[in-house]
Structure 1
Amino acid sequence: MIELTVVATVAAKVAPKLTGFFLRRRWLLAELEHDIEHIQRECSIIAAAITDDGNHQHASDAAEAHQEWIKIVRDLAYDIDDCIDRFIHRISTAPVADAGWIRQKAHWLKTVRARGKFTAAIVRLRKRSDEASELRKKYTDLAYGHGRATAVFDSWAHEVKPEPEMYTDNPVGTDAAEEELMELIRGSSTQGHQPKEKLKVISVVGFGGIGKSQLAKRVYDRLDDESQYPARAWVRAAEKGPEDLLQAILQELGAHTTTISASSSNTKLCATIQKRLGTQRFLIVIDDMREDFWVDIKDAFPVVPGVDSRVLVTTARQTIAIKSSSSDGHVYVMRTLADDHSRQLFCEEASLVYPPSVGDTKLSSEVIKRCDGLPLALVTTARLLHGESRPEQWADLGGNLGEHLENNKKLASMNGVLVRSYTGLSKQHIKTCLLYLGIYPSGRPIRRGSLIRRWSAEGFITAEHKRSAREVAFANFNELVDSSIIHPIDVSSSSRAEVKACQTHGIMLEFLLHKSMCENFVTLLYDDVPPPSKVRWLSLHSGSAASSRINPNDVPFLRSLTIFGKAHKSVFNFSKYKLMRVLDLEECHELMEDKHLKGICSNLVLLRYLSLRGASKITVLPKEVKKLQLLETLDVRGTNIDILPTQVMQLQSLLHLFGKFKLPQGIGGRKMRKLQAWLQEEENSKLQTVAGFVVDGKSQGFAQLMGEMKKLTKVKIWCESTTDASNYLSHLSEAIKEFIERGTDPNKARSLSLNMNGAWSQGFLNFSLESDPSCYVSSLKLQGNNISSLPPFVTMLGGLTKLCLSFSHLQLSSGILEALNSISGLKYLKLNATRMDNLVIEEDALGSLKRLCIVVEVITGLVIEEGALPDLESLQLLCKDLNGFSSTRIQCLPRLKEVTLHDGVSEGTKKEWKGAIKNHSRHPKLLFVTKQMVDDHFKPMRTEAAPEISPEETAVDAMVVESEPVENSESSGAPHTDTALLVPTQPTKY
């Protein structure tokens, strides 16, 4: 069951946590060895039992007893975890096992009282563990029939068998998508003709209930009417393996069941289908493909010279969609319905008049908002409310949709989709990470970086064999994206690695939040409703945050607090939150002051994640920050903190530091040597990200310290202009060279961002690396007032995939372009300038580039010659006066998938580009970016404010774009594209 997920995750981590803790303190283990071993064993058994419980159906007479047992072991696992963390703090200054005898003895005497309390706590926990074990044997074994239970689907699915998406007789808002998919099926290949040696496969991908099956069925039926494909088959792949699917295709093609052997191998079945299809033109639709076995069935579909057959695959998995589509195939990404179409569909299914009256609009608005444009959610909720006139029933459904999904059989088809999406995730801790998204409000963009850092701080992520905790976290995020459970926003790339922000589908969020709140995982407070007992993860949303009064004494077990919007002052009594691990207050900028930060640092000694982003009233990091020895992430971007106390650099657990800092004045000599010596010890500093530091003639210390941070992988530096700049820049150049040369592992991406406030010094970074490209930096951003040539080291970097050059006046000489052309693996290039003159990209130039972004106020000429940019997929020309580049030139870009323009271009320019897009063989998507978002890209050059877009988050990665269909249509539809194009689901309206 889903409610067991978090408990299993916490219980599973307790045993290794105890082991690691006591291995470092063997002197303490001797006192408690038997109790600790017993608790470790019990926690491992609890974790295994809970995981096993999720696959069993419980007898009704034991269900309540089982649920009570789950609550007991949940609290036990949390309390063990809390006990360990509390004691870690109490002896945080304890000597390690190999310390001298005198130091160990002194500490022994000093901590007698603390050790006594810990011993008593461990004994009590053991007793509770024993009691939980006995209760399970006594009361809950009935749930399993003494070991004779069998695995079943999760009870939340109401035992709904997998079935096609619910169809509606009158689909709304799908005309444009239908025409676009028809065009892809009929259309030519990328070179303007269908290659004779390849099969064209089109994959339709999107979240369950978004309308993939219905869209495919409408297209399939239309093609039947047109009699274009003599051989046709429609099969569902859900719950089928490759052999079953191939047999189903044979049956659809008219083969008698008596001729199909159940024991036939894949090879034999493929050969049989090939023979039956012969030289006919065929259309095969494989609906709802959930497992990746395309390689096992692809040989069933013959490639016949001169015959352009099609295979259409629908799936929720992006990897399946991409693998199924051939090199000349397409991946078509479904989009949710726009607001108007959502309301129209809902009204039609609920038998309401459309356009609705004011009363009906008010009545239905909350339910429609929760459905978030997902057709199946709109249809099922509308049918549930059909004929219902009582306003309180509508309000109840809108306010408690998650509960109704679980309990109302009329919503079973939607609930079944949600449950299958959830249970289909590969590992328990990934499900926990997904449940955690209930913290965020509906429609709220979630930044990938902060989410992953929060997962880590919460303890949901641990390193695995040959994979670091960070790699595991990224893999978890990618699986959620791949499953279409969360959808990327503000991206302009088919690669999941480019996803910088995401959202959870509204109906999925309702489902997750209800389950989380029922099992006391995530808690939301509304108005004056008192919190439940033992709140551990608390999220205050805009509207409720300001009015919710919290008595800190009522939440002594609070581990995580996130506030979206204003909060009542009672929240800020931080002296009571002794168990807090995660504190995110980045939207409390009006209330947060220096005194509050001092309270945080003085009391929240277990804190692992602290974000005060945008709290402009905070001006100083207090000396008490040294108490936060477990802190992993400190984010003070947008505050007025400009001096970083050296105590922060000495936080042993700190991994990620965000802000815009200088070191204190006067640090040098003995203090600097002491800090350097501390950093030199490998086990001391874990800093991976420093973004970033200000370096000038009076503050050069960071350049000295940077060389000692051996684990640093991401650095951002602002260089201030001074009269003696050459002196400090030479030291900084040496530090940067050392940072680069430490990057010898190609699997560990490094990022470097340099912002020169003033003219770019010609001697700055004028160094070379070894001729062998064994120094790896994946992302590089250089910003200043001018540039005449690339620093020599740039072309010598191994693994450089992203390069951003931002200057007030950028004149790209042939030397710079030639240097860029020598970077063999460059995938993304961004050029940001106020003026750009006569840019010529010659034949064969930038052969590996996938994305080119040019952000400029004035451009006098841009020429892309035939044969240049052969692999370019995304072209972004963000210039209001785009008069120096003809849209017809995009015809020489054979792999182009999307074009992004400034919304301020003239209507004539828009019309010209629409025509060029329509005539391009790949029909790339045309997007328009609003003026405000383009202007934001020039802020780094105009002010000293730190841009919040990292080198990896350039171009439209952080933009809201409007989708512009080539043809006039009633909806945004799905894009004309042949790869996974991931763009915002709702166009910007202005």
Structure 2
Amino acid sequence: MDVVTGAMGSLLPKLGELLVGEYKLQMGIKEGVESLEREMRSMNAALTKVAEVPRDQLDNQVIIWADELRELSYDMEDVIDNFLVYVDGSESVPDSNKLKQLVGKMASLFTNGKTRHQIANAINEIKNRAQEVADRRDRYRVDDAIANAAGKHKVDPRVLALYKDQKELVGIEDARNELIKRLTDGNDDGPMQQQHNLKMVSIVGHGGLGKTTLAKAVYDRLQTQFEYTAFVPVGQNPEVAKVLKDILLELDKSECIGDVATLDERQLIDKLRRQLENARYFIVIDDIWDLEAWNIIKCAFIDNNHGSRVITTTRILKISTNTGDIYRIKPLSQHFSEELFYTRLFGGKDKCPFDQLAEVSTNFLRKCGGVPLAIITIASLLAGKPMLDWAKVFNSIGFGSRDNNMDVDNSRRILSFSYYDLPYHLSLVCCI
């Protein structure tokens, strides 16, 4: 939806320029432009709310309305551009993009004398279209649909990674052992060496590579060596106080929720530091997106010279560099990609029914790029289809399938987190 707000963002300043510029608009025309500006500002406020909701959570009527508004915005901007060019006496803009019929009509009327009557008609035509879009907003209760979508809190599918059976994990052993070595100062699986300082390691990598799964595998292996342990997910838009409360409750299962419910961030940090002051602790903070939130959270992790350890997972390199030791998670090798793919699809590579499927599978895996989430998603999708349909699936890969498949939906949602955290100007580029 950011591409729609982008179109509106360039239109509104031009409407303002038309009103305050020295163009001596006829009174009726000026009133029409003022009315248009007010209406478009109102719609822009609604669009801003739309842009905050992932597209897959929006009602279809909202998407249709937003797309119509985008087209209207482009047409209005073209009309204004032509008006400003011709009034200023500049050369005509080449029609390289085959502007819509309305724009061509505007260009024609300006070259024929820019009569006030024709200008007023063009403004009225745009006003009528804007009114139609506004009426649809009311008719389909677009604002209510936006509010409902924004209020829905879908279960984060990454929670499933916390409860994977260890036997289902593929290609994780080397990464797990490397992380354990870093945390235990050289031992693959044994007790910690005598380094007593607090040590932090950050797992960094893009979505779908298995950061949460890896962190959980390390956590499960080492947690018995610590007095206090906690595995706490953070997420994209964290409430820092809630994260701190979750850490407290994980560390001490006897802690009463009511005892911490009213505490603010400073009080929660103080309470955590007191609890951890004389203890050896191991805490995983999973999926951090915001550096400021992390800077607050890590204030709770006191360096008490008891050999405590902290792991973070993040997609943001800047957060990793602000943590300590960095572990860059890598895609699966071809060997492990095949193992994961065939295990999910047939229960193992040796159970693949036809040798000729090897080439087809290689093509699928090439598109997946060693990303475990992508491999699992595609394997789950193929498992429900006749092999004759695999070619169709291959040609439509892009996680845009309309199949009612939970794995595809989960993959879409996970990958969409990355898009919705992009800066405004970068998300525009991705939409175009």
TM-score scaled to structure 1, two decimals?
Answer: 0.36
One-letter code aligned to 1:252: E
Task: Answer whether contact 2:19 2:30 (CA < 8 A) is retained.
Answer: no
Task: Answer whether contact 2:202 2:313 (CA < 8 A) is retained.
Answer: yes
SS in 2 for 1:201: strand
One-letter code aligned to 1:12: G
Q: Which residue of 2 aligns with 1:434?
A: 430
Taking the aligned partners of 1:387 and 1:73, their CA distance within structure 2 comes to 39
One-letter code aligned to 1:336: P
Alignment match of 2:388 (pick from 374, 388, 391): 391
Distance 1:92 1:314, change over 3 A: same
Q: Which residue of 1 aligns with 2:181?
A: 183
User: Could you tell me how far 1:287 is from its partner in structure 2?
Assistant: 1.7
Q: Which residue of 2 aligns with 1:134?
A: 135
Q: Which residue of 2 aligns with 1:616?
A: none
User: Could you tell me how far 1:316 is from its partner in structure 2?
Assistant: 2.3
1:279 and 2:275 equivalent? no
Q: Which residue of 1 aligns with 2:96?
A: none
Q: Which residue of 2 aligns with 1:16?
A: 13
One-letter code aligned to 2:125: R
1:172 and 2:170 equivalent? yes
Distance 1:18 1:245, change over 3 A: closer
Return the index of the structure with the highest Cα Rg: 1
1:301 and 2:298 equivalent? no
User: Could you tell me how far 1:319 is from its partner in structure 2?
Assistant: 3.1
Q: Which residue of 2 aligns with 1:243?
A: 241
One-letter code aligned to 1:423: Y
Alignment match of 1:77 (pick from 57, 73, 76): 73
Taking the aligned partners of 2:252 and 2:263, their CA distance within structure 1 comes to 17
Taking the aligned partners of 1:14 and 1:371, their CA distance within structure 2 comes to 40
One-letter code aligned to 1:289: I
Q: Which residue of 2 aligns with 1:345?
A: 340
One-letter code aligned to 2:273: Q
Distance 1:366 1:272, change over 3 A: same
Q: Which residue of 1 aligns with 2:327?
A: 332
User: Could you tell me how far 1:215 is from its partner in structure 2?
Assistant: 0.9
User: Could you tell me how far 1:21 is from its partner in structure 2?
Assistant: 5.3
Distance 1:373 1:253, change over 3 A: same
Task: Answer whether contact 1:366 1:398 (CA < 8 A) is retained.
Answer: no
Distance 1:313 1:29, change over 3 A: farther
Task: Answer whether contact 1:380 1:414 (CA < 8 A) is retained.
Answer: yes
Report which of the two has the higher share of strand.
Answer: 1
Aligned residues: 397
Taking the aligned partners of 2:285 and 2:384, their CA distance within structure 1 comes to 37
Q: Which residue of 1 aligns with 2:189?
A: none
Task: Answer whether contact 2:241 2:264 (CA < 8 A) is retained.
Answer: yes
User: Could you tell me how far 1:75 is from its partner in structure 2?
Assistant: 2.0
One-letter code aligned to 2:361: S
User: Could you tell me how far 1:29 is from its partner in structure 2?
Assistant: 7.1
Distance 1:258 1:351, change over 3 A: same
User: Could you tell me how far 1:257 is from its partner in structure 2?
Assistant: 2.8
User: Could you tell me how far 1:430 is from its partner in structure 2?
Assistant: 4.4
Report which of the two has the higher share of helix.
Answer: 2
TM-score scaled to structure 2, two decimals?
Answer: 0.77
CA deviation profile, 1:443-493 (whole Å, cap 9, x unmatched):
xxxxxxxxxxxxxxxxxxxxxxxxxxxxxxxxxxxxxxxxxxxxxxxxxxx
Taking the aligned partners of 2:137 and 2:319, their CA distance within structure 1 comes to 42
1:28-43 alignment runs, 5 A limit: 32-43=29-40
SS in 1 for 2:282: strand
Distance 1:411 1:154, change over 3 A: farther
Distance 1:286 1:131, change over 3 A: closer
SS in 2 for 1:36: helix
Task: Answer whether contact 2:4 2:67 (CA < 8 A) is retained.
Answer: no
SS in 1 for 2:331: coil
Taking the aligned partners of 2:79 and 2:178, their CA distance within structure 1 comes to 59
User: Could you tell me how far 1:375 is from its partner in structure 2?
Assistant: 0.7
User: Could you tell me how far 1:378 is from its partner in structure 2?
Assistant: 1.0
Distance 1:92 1:404, change over 3 A: same
Distance 1:165 1:88, change over 3 A: farther
User: Could you tell me how far 1:284 is from its partner in structure 2?
Assistant: 1.3
One-letter code aligned to 1:140: Y
Q: Which residue of 1 aligns with 2:366?
A: 369
Q: Which residue of 1 aligns with 2:209?
A: 210
One-letter code aligned to 1:369: R
Taking the aligned partners of 1:268 and 1:22, their CA distance within structure 2 comes to 53
Taking the aligned partners of 1:405 and 1:418, their CA distance within structure 2 comes to 16
Q: Which residue of 2 aligns with 1:601?
A: none
User: Could you tell me how far 1:205 is from its partner in structure 2?
Assistant: 1.6
Which structure has more relative contact order (CA 8 Å, sep 6+)? It is: 2
Task: Answer whether contact 2:205 2:328 (CA < 8 A) is retained.
Answer: yes
Taking the aligned partners of 2:194 and 2:83, their CA distance within structure 1 comes to 69
Q: Which residue of 2 aligns with 1:649?
A: none
Taking the aligned partners of 1:173 and 1:425, their CA distance within structure 2 comes to 30
SS in 1 for 2:370: coil
CA deviation profile, 1:736-762 (whole Å, cap 9, x unmatched):
xxxxxxxxxxxxxxxxxxxxxxxxxxx
1:421 and 2:418 equivalent? yes
Taking the aligned partners of 2:273 and 2:211, their CA distance within structure 1 comes to 27
Task: Answer whether contact 1:363 1:391 (CA < 8 A) is retained.
Answer: no
RMSD (CA atoms): 3.8
Taking the aligned partners of 1:17 and 1:79, their CA distance within structure 2 comes to 13
One-letter code aligned to 1:416: R
User: Could you tell me how far 1:111 is from its partner in structure 2?
Assistant: 6.0
1:460-499 alignment runs, 5 A limit: none
1:264 and 2:263 equivalent? yes
One-letter code aligned to 1:320: I
User: Could you tell me how far 1:194 is from its partner in structure 2?
Assistant: 8.6
Distance 1:118 1:172, change over 3 A: farther
Taking the aligned partners of 2:59 and 2:90, their CA distance within structure 1 comes to 46
Alignment match of 1:380 (pick from 377, 382, 387): 377
Taking the aligned partners of 1:240 and 1:94, their CA distance within structure 2 comes to 52
1:46 and 2:43 equivalent? yes
User: Could you tell me how far 1:79 is from its partner in structure 2?
Assistant: 0.9
Q: Percent identity?
A: 26
Alignment match of 2:349 (pick from 349, 354, 357): 354
CA deviation profile, 1:69-112 (whole Å, cap 9, x unmatched):
444323211111222334445456459xxxxxxxxxxxxxx966
SS in 2 for 1:79: helix
Task: Answer whether contact 1:233 1:253 (CA < 8 A) is retained.
Answer: yes
Distance 1:92 1:161, change over 3 A: same
1:125 and 2:126 equivalent? yes
Task: Answer whether contact 2:288 2:294 (CA < 8 A) is retained.
Answer: no
Taking the aligned partners of 1:132 and 1:176, their CA distance within structure 2 comes to 57
User: Could you tell me how far 1:350 is from its partner in structure 2?
Assistant: 0.9
1:553-632 alignment runs, 5 A limit: none
- Which ranges of structure 1 fall in alignment gaps of 5 or more residues? 96-109, 437-990
Distance 1:36 1:314, change over 3 A: same
SS in 2 for 1:41: helix
One-letter code aligned to 2:240: P
